[in-house]
Amino acid sequence: KAGVTQTPRYLIKTRGQQVTLSCSPISGHRSVSWYQQTPGQGLQFLFEYFSETQRNKGNFPGRFSGRQFSNSRSEMNVSTLELGDSALYLCASSLLGGPRETQYFGPGTRLLVL
Amino acid sequence: AQSVTQLGSHVSVSEGALVLLRCNYSSSVPPYLFWYVQYPNQGLQLLLKYTSAATLVKGINGFEAEFKKSETSFHLTKPSAHMSDAAEYFCAVSDEWGSNYKLTFGKGTLLTVNP
């Protein structure tokens, strides 16, 4: 099976712009989670989607949003970019999103905000 | 609330030496525990996980971890380090409280292996 894919891999934006990141989960996986990774804050949970519904949300401002499509592919959007949004954004998928399940991570999208 | 503490942000060992990466968790209910590894410019790869079966868990690449409830620990070990083990290692916890299924990660431990 193909792994989790994320596009684009690298992105450079300027402050105030918006950005959309895409994630394709492993075939058959219905849960998709997003994490932000920075040197200072480490790995932080953004949100999780299952069957096109957001089930769980981390402690991030409303500028961070996401959605999931009927084929389980997911996108996350960050509006009005700030310098502090520069990070590696990781997507992970699992079958149903249960707490015992392994989450399989994609390679990430590295976002640089200038 | 769940939390994970990884003692030591940087661990350096010689090739062939024992690897010990420490992880302590805090959870109000029985936890599920994971170790992930991240190589440069890559995503996270699961090494092993504890889901309330055997307390000694064996993973990939010769790694293992032991769940010790009395010490709230889940330390990662490998008897003999290899150069290819150099990477960053993350301990993570999840539990079945409510429907908040998510992974809470520690800050990570960067492992350096010296020849």
Q: Which residues of A touch B (CB under 8 A)?
A: 4, 33, 35, 42-45, 48, 55-56, 58, 90, 92, 97-100, 102-108
DSSP state of A103: P
List, for residues A23-72, the tens digit of each pLDDT value: 999 999 999 999 999 999 999 999 999 999 999 899 999 999 999 999 99
Cα–Cα distance for residue pair B61/A97, rounded to 1 Å: 26
Chain B (17-46) residues lying within 8 Å, Cβ to Cβ, of chain A: 32, 34, 36, 41-46
**pLDDT, position B68:** 93
Contacts of A61 (CB under 8 A, 6+ apart): none
Which residues in chain B touch residue A97, judged by CB atoms under 8 angstroms apart?
Answer: 101
pLDDT of residue A100: 85
Contact A29, A2 (CB under 8 A): no
Give the span between the Cα atoms of B56 and B76, in whole angstroms.
10
Rounded CA-CA distance B11/B68 in Å is 22
Q: Which two tokens stand for residue A85?
A: 């949004």
- Does the pLDDT of residue B98 top 60, yes or no? no
pLDDT in tens, A67-99: 999 999 999 999 999 999 999 999 999 998 888
Closest alpha carbon to A92 in A24, A39, A41:
A24
pLDDT at residue A2 in the model? 84
| Integer Cα distance of A78 and A58 in angstroms | 14
Query: What is the predicted pLDDT for the residue at B30?
Result: 76
